[in-house]
Amino acid sequence: MTVLEQKRMSLGGRKPTIHPEAWSADNATIIGSVTLQARASVWYASVLRADGDTITVGADSNIQDGCVLHADRGFPVEVGERVSVGHRAILHGCHIGDESLIGMGAVVLNGTRIGPGCLVAAGAVVLEDATFEPGTLIAGVPAKARRQLTEDERAGIRANAERYLDLVRTHHEATR
């Protein structure tokens, strides 16, 4: 078994499904029922462990360095399209809407639903079963809705996802 095969592991008959246009770093670990859609990226030292339920990372989304995504039984992880999940963030059995940004070191727990176009601030801890409307700034420990994002802030979230698509091309070429 190669190192790459060890990092993409089947578990209990469930194996990762990775779109040919998706990219993952050589030391990212992807286990079980994980689906990476077109142009999704999983960066260095991240772990996606779908041993209890499924994990889906939508098209054009990025899971940055050192993140942990884990799906508990009955709590899948669903990351929408054009989502950026910042370095060292933890997503545990939650739903993240399209064009959202999860800040560095943020924690989002089981049953939470983050609407489209949201920003979860760096270091925030979103407790279980929380629901947030589209376009909300979510911050604090425990995290709360603070205000609606401006259109400029939402454009910045979209631009961040675009920057990661460019970075993928660079890293893909360097790691071939």
What number is the average pLDDT over the span 102-123?
99
Strands 136-140 and 143-148, sheet pairing = antiparallel
- Per-residue pLDDT of 31-74, as tens digits, reads 999 999 999 999 999 999 999 999 999 999 999 999 999 999 99
Q: Which domain holds residue 153?
A: 3-174
DSSP three-state, residue 166:
helix
Domain count, the chain: 1
Tokens representing residue 140 in the block: 């604090």
**pLDDT band at residue 2 using 50, 70 and 90 as cut-offs:** very low
Q: What is the mean pLDDT of the chain?
A: 94
DSSP three-state, residue 153:
helix
Tokens representing residue 123 in the block: 């270091």
Is 32 in contact with 11 (CB distance < 8 Å)? Answer: yes
Q: Which residue in this structure is represented by tokens 């939470």? A: 112
**Residue 17 sits in a domain of what CATH number?**
2.160.10.10
Residue 29 confidence (pLDDT) above 70: yes
**pLDDT band at residue 1 using 50, 70 and 90 as cut-offs:** very low
